[in-house]
Amino acid sequence: MALFIVFIAFIWGGSMGVTLMMAKSRLAPGEASLGDQLIVRVVAFFSVSIAMLTLGLVSGRTAIAEDTTALVPYLWLVAVSPLIIPSLKRKLPSERLIYASVLLSAAGGVALAMATLVSLILNNPEIV
């Protein structure tokens, strides 16, 4: 089980790392073209989707806390929502929207972990 979680962490970190590097290299230097913005947003969409899928896999491995797995689609929607918002050149650049999506994905992971922990404690009081 521990090796599975380490493997999932590498998948998560790798996909998020690729997204952040692409956002930094394609969107940061001056005016990014519409094509660059679309490419980075599509990569970010797949990255967040992979991250949330792996979260669902890890959460689904705990039979006692199956109810927390139902949170994954909602967390995915929250993490993907900045990618749908159009870029407003100076006030809300596309690079910040990508960073917000990655941050919301990580926050979703923490929220799911906390919900799973609470569910485990409530279902098995002898753990505490």
Torsion sign, CA atoms 40, 35, 93, 45: negative
Q: Give 125's contacts (C-beta < 8 A, 6+ positions apart).
A: none
Which single residue is written with the structure tokens 């962490």? 9
CB atoms within 10 A of CB 80: 18
For residue 110, what are the domain limits?
2-127
Over residues 51-70, mean pLDDT: 76
Question: Which is more confident, 4 or 37?
Answer: 37
Token look-up 């669902």 returns 56
Report the percentage of the chain scoring pLDDT > 70: 88
Domain count, the chain: 1
Lowest-confidence range among 12-21, 44-53, 68-77, 87-96? 87-96
Bigger pLDDT: 55 vs 74: 74
